[in-house]
Each structure stands twice: as C-alpha cells, then as structure tokens.
Amino acid sequence: MQRIWVVVLSVWAMLAIVAVLAWSSHSPAPLPAASSQTVVVKGPGGKQRVVVLKAPAHATTATSAMARP
C-alpha cells in the first residue's frame, strides 16, 4: 500500500514540475488534441474507466489540394 502511495506522489510531483516549466516558458498555449473525446465508463461495482476516443470531424480545412482521384 505504501509503495502505491509513493508512486502516486512521485507522479504528481513530476506533473507539478512539468506544469511549472510549461507555465514559465512563454510558448503559445497548446491546442487541445484535435477531435478527441473522453469517455468515462462506469463498470460493475462503480469502478470507473477513462477511454479516449477519436471523434471524426465533419470536414477538414487545408490549403486547397488537387481533386482526389
């Protein structure tokens, strides 16, 4: 049990460091992943699973390309 807590705390600490580094660099705000969809599925006994699905876009904008054959 203690090991699990150590792992959890380490991950959180690493995330915090990454967040501080990201905040301090003035790069443009990252864009959310294109057309991703998060689905939280509740399993038997109330256990939750998080599934990330790709939601297809209705159209794509790009520099006008040649007609597809």
Q: Which residues are at the interface with other proteins (CB under 8 A)?
A: 27-44, 52, 55-68
Structure tokens at 9: 């705390």
Structure tokens at 59: 């159209």
> With respect to other proteins, which residue has the nearer C-beta, 21 or 66?
66
> With respect to other proteins, which residue has the nearer C-beta, 4 or 44?
44
CA distance 6 to 14: 12
Q: Give the shortest CB-23-to-other proteins separation in angstroms.
A: 16
Q: Give the shortest CB-51-to-other proteins separation in angstroms.
A: 10
Residue type for position 53: L
Residue for token digits 């939601």? 55
